[in-house]
Structures are given as structure tokens and as C-alpha cells.
Chains A and B, each alone.
Chain A
Amino acid sequence: MLKLIEGGGASQDRRSGERRLEFGDRWPYEPSPEAIDRAGLRDRWDAFIDGRFVPPAEGGYAADLCPATAEPFAAVAESTAADVDSAVAAARRAFEGAWGRLAPLERGKHLFRLARAVQERARELAVLETLDSGKPIQASRDFDLPLVASHLFHHAGWADKLEWAFHGRTPRPLGVAAQVMPWNFPLLMAAWKIAPALACGNTVVLKPAETTPLSALRLAEIASEVGFPPGVVNVVPGGPSVGAALVTHRGVDQVAFTGSTEVGKVIRRAVAGSGKRLLLELGGPSAHLVFADAPLDQAVEGVIAGAFFHQGQVCCAGARLLVEESVHDVFVAKLRDRMETLRVGDPLDKNTDLGPVGSAAQLARVRELVASAEAEGAARYSVARELPARGWYVAPTLFTGVALAHRIAREEIFGPVLAVLTFRTDTEAVRKANATSSGLAAGVWTSHPGRLLELARGLEAGVVWANSYHRFDPTSPFGGCKESGLGREGGRQGLAAYVRLEEDA
């Protein structure tokens, strides 16, 4: 008779040389590149100010490189303080003029139109985003663009309902919002910033990341095409000096930034005492906890997504895996099997899971951190895969034997590198997860509801994903505690960063 013995479970899983899965070429997928003919590409991109593309007042043009080839594919205006001046002035005119005079519902209707227009142009925007950022087209197409459209759509509906959102306090727009974007989700972050800012009645000057300016410029152009008054959405491409000129500009009332904690601090110091409202979405290595009672196969997917989605270049990447010691070996074995199926290559190929990292500088930094982990004694496992000869590629990598003191456990990696640590008890898990100055997100995999809720309470993070990871929605507030930022984006809570309430006076 068959004996069903409880206990052991997946930990009995044994692997050896003769028990291996082969993910080879028995049935290869052909290259399946997305066509780039309708990506809305142009050779030269100017700043978008007051409803039109405007050549830089003083600066020249810089080459925009494609991460997949490391070659230039467009020239982008290098804005200067003079362009920032005209953009802020245009935004101010719009705020005090056409946009400010609009009835709230009319404002909302503009945003609804924009949401629709983005849906209509989703394919071309996805291709543009992939070319510029190196993000795999499957992510641009299935993740970024749907979220861009839904953020615009959700916030469009807020425009005429704001007075109900603040418990009897009357919200007023702030004025001109200065918004500085990261390079990992160029268009999505632009939508996260623009949508609530406009819904709340503000106007916007946006500075895209230096390496990924195109989609935001195109978004501003689309807004103009669908009838936004001039000056409501302005985009000034350029480097850090443009960002600095923008956030410190006297005509700016709100500063929103998504990016590194380091730059977030610089911005905070720069705008201190100016009275500008500040919204910061910063980073920090988020912890991903896997318990022995977890749905392990789904936890593998969650951890893979957490660590490798967009090559790990995500502010809330689950780059620190904390796995319960009793399932460490089997879980790592499963992770390694799963890593073997990750397809690294041309981001335009629809079957590519991991593209290149965003820049040569980023590649250097990831390599340096990987070297530091090896030097500090962690055991490295990288997928043995031939990487494309051109472009800034990193093989998906996992480190075991990582200690909390190691740099890869403390610093934000922003590359496809996962650090694996272990814990024995729930208390230890929470302690290790919280042992960082950041607190953006955390993942927890367990099948015990009480444990989950207790952990969720103890984890110092703005977002806790239970038995899931990387979930985003315009109705759900996102943002970090501790050094991971100030404020929230999305949901009712996210509106607060864009309004002045009576008690602020």
C-alpha cells in the first residue's frame, strides 16, 4: 500500500549530475523582432515647450545611444537654464491662463483623451521605449504601456472629485510642477507624475533622464495633438545640470523626483527652505522573503521577476532574497533551473526576457558590484549564456552565501543580480529584512495567513507584496518609507503631493 508520509516535502528533492533539465535547442524559437517602422522615430528631438518642439536656446545636441547596440540613433537637444526658464514661464502662463481657467471636468476630459491616445499609440510608444531604454519589448508592451494608459485614465477621473478626497479640506493646485524622471521606466514614471499633477490642476515641466528622453517628448507631443493647451506639459531633455536648474527654479512650486537616494538627498537639500512641495520616489534594495511553507514554484517566479524584471533596474527590485534555511538548497536549485530559461538578448525580440542594462556606466557599476561580491566570498552562479557581442549585457547572476555586511546585500545593484541570504525564524527574517536604511517594498511568500499579516506589519516598507511581486495599479499607493522616499504615488493617498490643503497655509 502507498504510504503518505507527511514532512520533508520538497526538501527531499535531490539533484545530481544525472538528474538535470536540459533547456536546449530541441525546439528553438526563431528571432521574432518587433518592427520599428512605426515607432515615431525622428533624427532630431528638441525640447517641447509651450506646445511645440523648440531648438535649444544655447545648447547643442547630444547623441542618444541605443543600449542594445551602444550606438547613436537620435540627436537630442541639450537644454540649458535658458530653456528651463522658457518652459517654466510657459507652464506658469498655462497655470494662470487656459489650464487654470478650465472647469475641473474639462481638465479631466483632456486627460481622458490623452489616456485614449496613448492606448491607440501603444505599439509605437512601446517600440520607442524599448529602443531608447533597452527594456524588452514584452515589458514595454505588456507592462509599461497598459499601466501608462491606466494611470492617465484613473487620474483623469479625479479632476472633478478632488474636494471629496481630503476629509472636508479643500484642495487647491500648487502651480508649476517640476518633475525629474529616471531612466528605467521613462514613460511610465512620466505618466505617474504627469497624471496626478494635471488632474489636480497643476502644469508640468518634466525633465526626462538623459539617456531615455524620447518617450516623454513623444507623450508631450501627443498631449498637444489631442488638444492640451500650450504650456500644460513641457519637456526639457538634458543632463543633471538641467535637472538642477529645474528643481531650483524660483517659478516652480512642486518638485517630484524618481531616482537614486543619493540624488534625492541632493534635491532635498537644494530645495530646502524654498517652500516647494517635494515628492521623492527613491530606491534601495528591497527584501524578498521565502518561507518553507511557501508555494515554492510560484515563489520562484516571484523572485525571478523581483530580481530580473527589466534586468533588475527597478527601484523596488527584490535584489535581497531571504530564504528559510530548511528550503534554501531546493529553492536555489529551482531558481537556477528557472534562470536557465531566461532569454537574454535583443530587447526588440518579443521572446527576450532580459535586455541590456541602461548604459555603459550602469554596466560598469554592476560588474564592479559582482566583483566585490566575489571578493567578499559569496558564491557566484551566472547563467552560462553567450551574450550579444554589442550592447551592455549582463548575464543573470545569483550569489549564495551572502552576509548582511556584503555590499551586494546593502547597496542598490540595479542589475540582474540576486543576493541570497538565509534565516531561521520569522523574527530573524524581519530583522534582516529591515536591516537597511531603505524601505520601499518587500515580498513575502508563505501559505500561513496569520504569519503573513504579522510580517506585513513588521516589515518597514511602503509596499508589501504577499505571494506576488511587482504589482502596480493606479488605484494603489506606491512609495517608500525611511530613505526610500517621501510621499506616495497612486490612489487617493497619491493626490496629496499635488494639492495645497487649507491647513498648509
Chain B
Amino acid sequence: MTERPREDGPPRRSEPEAARVGIRKTWKLFVGGAFVRGESGRYRPLGGGETCPLASRKDLRDAVRAAAEASARWSRTSALLRGQILYRLAEVLEARRAELSAQLAAGGAPAPPRELDLAIDRVVSFAGWADKLSLLASTVNPVAGPYLSVSQPEPIGVVGLVAPGRPALLGLVGTLCPLIAAGNVAVVVAGEPDPRTALAFAECVATSDVPPGVVQVLTGDRAELVPVLARHLGVRGLDVWDASEADARELEQLAADGMKRVAFRSWAVSAFEDARRASSPAMLERFVETKTLWHPLGA
């Protein structure tokens, strides 16, 4: 059976009666701002003759390295600029609605246009958070002595994001944007049900102003990749969505060695759609670290 081309998306497969042979996209991993083939050459069929790479341990290692290289600069990029860069990402997403919508539909999303609306609005919301978290979470501590004591949140660095499976796009932006808005860099393991939407999103990231290395997107076998991420000493945080209880226990144990910051969450789709909850400051606070500075008063 052949698929019919849809109005809002690229053709999946050339029609036998059409004169022209369509161009099929080779999906690649997004690492260090570049699209790269999987190191191991393994892939997973996506239907329609398309495939996505199965990232290997070495791909993951490269992704963490790229993220670490981008980390120092991104964490020192002004919060205002981080916000503007995220807003720019929203602009790019808005401009590529047609393609994202088609990928969402192909990936089985029930209401692609509505998910897109929510996803793009979520990016805008986190763009606004970038320069406000510190305002909420910082304190001047009234210590009993002649000292100034101030505490403020700082990004922790490389965070592994094991993205929620559903909703594919809203879940991804709703968990990735708070990480990078707070100044972290991310290595994303895309949700398994719809990796293609994650890679299409990566193309939006690549054409936005997000600097190379701030976001990597890997597709592949979660069970294979996530334990490697959990044990990687260069990864400071691990944000795992939809882990089974057994997996969570194992990952938590693996994360003990670098004393990784870890979160395990599993939300219904409706929770991601609830903007008050899903764009609350709690989303940003998970992977920041309070630093306290003391200085004496007087000369």
C-alpha cells in the first residue's frame, strides 16, 4: 500500500504514476551543532522507508563531549540573551509548523496543530523564565555577623535528558527548554515512540540561534543508552521521564558514583498541557545548584 502525500507535509514516498522520484531524508543524530550519522551504522526503520540512527555508546560519548565544550560559554551567556535565543527558537518553530505538524501526525500524535501551539507557547514561556529564575531563587541571607552572604542558583552543566515519549514535541520542548533556559546544556535521548519529530525539532534548533553543543539529540535504544548516560562522570544531571520503577532504581544506583543530580518523572499528557504546572519555576530548579558567597563588611 502506498501513502498519499498530505497537504501539510512532504511526500513520504514517490507515487508510482508520478514522473519525479522524491527525495527521501536521511535522518541523522544532532551533535555539536552538526548532523552526523550514527557511529555504529545501526538504524531503526521508521516506516515509509525512512530510518533513524541507533546511537551507540560512542555517539553518546561524543555528544557529552560536545555538550561539555559548549557548557562554559552557555552558562555565562547572559540570561537575557539565553531568553532571546529561546524566543528565536520559537520563531523558527512557528515558521516550520507545516513540517513539524506532518512529523507529529506521522508519529501518531492525535492533534498535531494543538500540540504545536502548546509547544511553541511553552518555548516562549521558558524564554521568559531565563532571566527570572535567579530573581526568585536567589537570597541575601541575613547572617548574624558583619558579612554579606548571598546565594544564587547556578546551572550544573551537562544534563542528560531522557525525553518523555508522549507528547512527542510538547514533552520534548517542555523538558529541554527549562534545562537550557537555566544555563545547562543537554544531551537528549529522544522518546522512542516518535524519534523523527525529535530530529525534526533538532533541525529547528540547528537553524535557530542556539549555539552548537547546547543541545544534542540522539535517537536510539533507551535501554542501551540511558545506563551509559547515568554512569558518565561528565554528565552532572539526569532528567529521566517515563522510567519504570526497576529502571529508576538501577539508574539511581548508577548515578551514585558521580553523585549525579537525578529526577524521575512520568506525567500524563494532560500534565504537559497544563501550562501553570508545566512552566512553573520548579521545572528550572531541578538542575540548578545553589552557590553561596560570603564576604566580610568593613575596611
Which residues of the partner chain B approach A280 to less than 8 Å between Cβ atoms? 259
Bound CA–CA A476/B139 (angstroms): 9
The chain B residue with its CB closest to the CB of A490 is B141
> Assuming the A-B contacts A273-B245, A471-B143, are A481 and B156 also in contact, with contact meaning beta carbons closer than 8 angstroms in the complex?
yes
Q: Does A167 belong to the interface (CB within 8 Å)?
A: yes
Across the interface, A462 reaches (CB within 8 A) one of B145, B282, B290, namely: B290
Closest to A475 in B: B141
Q: Which residues of B contact A486 (CB under 8 A)?
A: 259, 261
Whether A473 contacts B252 in the complex (CB less than 8 A), given A468-B295, A486-B259, A491-B151, comes out as no
* Pair A167/B136 contact, Cβ less than 8 Å: yes
Report the bound CA distance from A493 to B136 in whole Å: 11
Q: Would A479 and B256 count as touching, CB distance under 8 A? A: no
Binary flags per residue of A369-406, CB closer than 8 Å to B gives 1, else 0: 00000000000000000000000000000000000000
Of the candidates A272, A475, A478, A485, the one whose C-beta lies within 8 Å of that of B256 is: A272
A424 within 8 A of B: no
Render B282-293 as a binary contact track against A, CB cut-off 8 A, 1 for contact.
100000011111
The verdict on A462 contacting B149 (CB below 8 Å), with A167-B281, A501-B282 known, is: no
Q: Is the CB of B144 within 8 A of A473?
A: yes
Q: Does A265 touch B at the CB level, under 8 Å?
A: yes
* Shortest Cβ distance from residue B294 to the other chain A in the assembled complex, whole angstroms: 5
| Contact between chains at B259 and A265 (CB < 8 Å) | yes
- In the bound complex, what is the Cα–Cα distance between A466 and B295 (angstroms)? 5
Q: Quick check: is B257 within 8 A (CB to CB) of the other chain?
A: yes
Question: Which positions 51-102 of chain A face chain B at CB distance < 8 Å?
Answer: none
A287 at the interface (CB under 8 A from B): no
State which of B151, B256, B277, B281 has its C-beta within 8 Å of the C-beta of A476. B151
Nearest Cβ on chain B to A494's Cβ, whole angstroms: 9
- Residues of A within 8 Å of B248, CB to CB, are 272-273
Task: Report the separation of the CA atoms of residues A437 and B293 in the bound assembly, to the nearest whole angstrom.
Answer: 20
**Which single residue of chain B is at the shortest CB-CB distance from A461?**
B291
Say if the beta carbon of A282 comes within 8 Å of chain B: yes
CA–CA, A167 to B147, complex, Å?
27
Q: Residue of B at shortest CB range from A473? A: B143
Interface SS majority for chain B:
mixed
Given A473-B144, A477-B292, A492-B139, also A483-B149 (CB < 8 A): no
* Residues in A neighbouring B295, C-beta threshold 8 A: 452, 466-468
Cα A468 to Cα B143 with chains together (Å): 14
Q: How far is the CA of A122 from the CA of B144 in the complex (A)?
A: 18
Q: B235 to chain A: closest CB distance in Å?
A: 12
B-contacting residues, A444-470, CB 8 Å: 452, 456-457, 461-468
In the bound complex, do residue A477 and residue B259 qualify as a contact, i.e. CB atoms below 8 Å apart? no
Task: Tell me whether B259 and A169 are in contact (CB under 8 A).
Answer: no
Q: Is A30's CB within 8 Å of the partner chain B?
A: no
With a cutoff of 8 Å between Cβ atoms, the chain B residues found around residue A481 in the complex are 156, 289, 291
Q: Kindly state whether residue B142 has any CB partner on chain A within 8 Å.
A: yes
Q: Chain B residues near A468: list those with CB within 8 A.
A: 147, 294-296
A172 at the interface (CB under 8 A from B): no
The answer on a CB contact under 8 Å between A169 and B245 is no
Neighbour of A488 across the interface among B144, B236, B282, B290, CB < 8 A: B290
Query: Do residues B259 and A473 form an inter-chain contact, with CB atoms below 8 A?
Result: no
Q: Select from chain B the residue with minimum beta-carbon distance to A458.
A: B72
Which chain A positions have C-beta within 8 A of B139?
477, 491-493
A150 to B250, CA, bound (A): 40
Whether B291 contacts A464 by the Cβ 8 Å rule is yes
Contact of B253 with A by CB under 8 A: yes
Q: Which of chain B's residues have a CB closer than 8 A to the CB of A169?
A: 280, 282
Say if the beta carbon of B249 comes within 8 Å of chain A: yes
Contact of A466 with B142 at beta-carbon distance under 8 Å, contacts A273-B249, A481-B156, A485-B259 already known: no
Contacts of B290 in A (CB 8 A): 462, 477, 479, 488, 493
Q: Does A473 contact B293, Cβ atoms closer than 8 Å?
A: no
Q: A471-B143, A486-B259, A491-B141 are in contact. Are A476 and B252 (CB under 8 A)?
A: no
Closest residue on chain A to residue B151 by CB atoms: A477
Q: Is B22 an interface residue (CB 8 A)?
A: no
Counting residue pairs across A and B whose Cβ atoms lie within 8 Å, the total is 118
Interface assignment of B108: CB less than 8 Å from any CB of chain A: no
- How many Å lie between the Cα of A447 and that of B143 in the bound state? 22
Query: B193 contacts the other chain (Cβ, under 8 Å)?
Result: no
Residues in chain B near residue A464, CB distance under 8 A: 291-294
- The answer to whether B143 touches A475, judged by C-beta atoms less than 8 angstroms apart, is yes
Bound Cα distance A478, B236 (Å): 19
Q: Which residues of B contact A503 (CB under 8 A)?
A: 277, 280, 282
A491, B255: Cα distance in complex, Å: 27
Chain A neighbourhood of B250, CB < 8 A:
272-273
Which partner residue on chain A sits nearest B144 by CB separation? A473
Q: Give the residue among B255, B258, B294 with the most A Cβ atoms within 10 A.
A: B294
Nearest CB of chain A from residue B227's CB, rounded to whole Å? 13
Which residues of A sit under 8 angstroms from B142, Cβ to Cβ? 475
Within 8 A of A (CB), among B135-187: 136-137, 139, 141-145, 147, 149, 151, 154, 156
Asked if A110 CB lies within 8 Å of chain B CBs, one says no
Give chain A residues whose Cβ lies under 8 Å from the Cβ of B136.
167
Q: Are B280 and A272 in contact (CB under 8 A)?
A: no
Query: Considering the chains assembled together, what is the distance between the CA atoms of A477 and B143 in angstroms?
Result: 11
Residues of A146-193 whose CB lies within 8 A of B: 150, 167, 169
Name the A residues within 8 Å of B280 (CB-CB). Answer: 167, 169, 503
A interface footprint on B244-277 (CB within 8 Å = 1, 0 otherwise): 0110111011011111010000000000000001
Min Cβ gap A398→B in Å is 25
Report the minimal beta-carbon distance from A391 to chain B, rounded to whole angstroms: 33
Out of B253, B277, B281, name the residue touching A269 (CB < 8 Å): B253
A482 with B259, Cβ < 8 A, contacts A464-B291, A466-B293, A476-B292 known: yes
Q: Please state if B292 and A484 are interface contacts (CB–CB under 8 Å).
A: no
CB within 8 Å for A476 and B141 given contacts A456-B293, A464-B292: yes
Q: Which residues of A contact B137 (CB under 8 A)?
A: 493
- Which one, B156, B236, B281, B294, contacts A466 given CB within 8 A? B294
Q: Are B291 and A456 in contact (CB under 8 A)?
A: yes
A 219-271 contacts with B by CB, 8 A: 261, 264-265, 268-269
Complex Cα gap A465–B145 (Å): 14
Q: Assess A261 versus B281: contact at CB under 8 Å? Given A464-B291, A476-B143, A481-B289.
A: no
Q: Which of B252, B261, B291, B293 contacts A273 (CB 8 A)?
A: B252
Q: Besides A169-B280, A476-B292, A493-B139, 15 other CB < 8 A contacts?
A: A167-B136, A272-B253, A462-B289, A463-B294, A464-B294, A465-B294, A466-B296, A468-B147, A471-B149, A477-B292, A481-B291, A483-B258, A486-B261, A493-B137, A503-B277
Q: Which 9 A-B pairs have the closest CB atoms?
A: A273-B249, A272-B252, A473-B143, A476-B141, A268-B256, A483-B259, A475-B141, A466-B295, A265-B256
- Complex A-B: 15 CB contacts under 8 Å: A167-B136, A272-B252, A272-B256, A464-B291, A464-B294, A466-B295, A471-B143, A475-B142, A476-B151, A477-B139, A477-B290, A481-B291, A482-B259, A493-B137, A501-B282
